[in-house]
Amino acid sequence: MREGETPVSKGTFITFEGGEGSGKTTLIGGLADRLQQAGYDVVTTREPGGSPIAESIRAVILERNHTAMDGRTEALLYAAARRQHLVEVVLPALARGAIVLCDRFIDSSLAYQGYARGLGMDEVWEINRFAVEGCMPAMTLYLDLEPEAGLARIRADAGREVNRLDLEGLAFHRKVRDGYREVARRYPERIVTLDAMQAPDDLLREAWLHLAAKLNETK
Ligand SMILES: Nc1ncnc2c1ncn2[C@@H]1O[C@H](COP(=O)(O)OP(=O)(O)O)[C@@H](O)[C@H]1O
Ligand SMILES: [Mg+2]
């Protein structure tokens, strides 16, 4: 499988990947603050975010009672939600020149559905290729963390909503991590692996260096 060309657009598309509790939401918030202070137009989003159609699709996927969900059905629904969010939220923001920080994108499907659920990364890549039509991130920051540590962070966070994937066993989350590492090996030119055990401030500093370098390069 090969990655597509990013279509011509004025903005910069950055995605964030990693297991549950790896610190994606926290890091995106920190980077968005810094970007705004530096005067950039920045849009933060998570995949179904801001698109009612994509939110509805995601609700079907994450519904706790849907234990009979077939693996390929799940993969197709994720690809459908991704497509709708891309069209409604990401592409318009990029067209006006914004920096889009997106919490999860295509690599989540490769790691969760392709690798951990065993559908095959190449197969999942194919349906997602159809969904994203060549619109790939300029850079992906992957937060690498032992699943035990991520799940412990989630459990300590009393206010957090627990979804169907959070309730999967540790063995599944270990496979997800192995899947992410395989994806990072396949796309070294796009994916930057960060040690997510670092304290939030240290992680933010390291991520900022990569982001600033990417913005200089694409200017
Ligand atoms: N680098 C970090 N070190 C320790 N705890 C963190 C770190 N980053 C985030 N956290 C905490 O871990 C929990 C999960 O973080 P979050 O950003 O929501 O992760 P994710 O979005 O990847 O699931 C939150 O309670 C958050 O405050
Ligand atoms: Mg999050």
pLDDT, tens digit, for every residue of 138-180? Answer: 999 999 999 999 999 988 887 776 666 666 788 999 999 999 9
Cα–Cα distance between 177 and 120 in angstroms, integer?
15
Indicate which ligand has the atom closest to the C-alpha of 153: 1
Confidence bin at 47 (pLDDT 50/70/90)? confident
Strands (DSSP E) contained in the chain are 12-18, 42-46, 99-103, 139-144, 191-195
For residue 200, the ligand 1 atom closest to its alpha carbon is 1
Q: Is the CB of 203 under 6 A from ligand 1?
A: yes
Residue 16 alpha carbon to ligand 1 centre in Å: 13
Residue nearest to atom 9 of ligand 1 (CA): 23
Burial of 18 (0-12, 13-18, 19+ CB in 10 A): buried
- Testing ligand 1's pocket by substitution, the residue of 26, 155, 180 carrying the most ligand atoms inside 8 A of its CB is 26
Task: Answer for the pair 74, 58: CB distance below 8 angstroms, yes or no.
Answer: no
Asked if CATH classification 2.40.50.140 holds for the domain at 12-46+94-218, the reply, yes or no, is no
pLDDT at 58 over 70: yes
Confidence bin at 48 (pLDDT 50/70/90)? confident
Q: Residue 145 is encoded by which pair of tokens? A: 């963390």
pLDDT at 45 over 90: yes
Q: In the prediction, which pLDDT does 166 show?
A: 63
Cα–Cα distance between 54 and 85 in angstroms, integer?
6
Task: Answer for the pair 9, 94: CB distance below 8 angstroms, yes or no.
Answer: yes
pLDDT average, residue stretch 181-188: 98
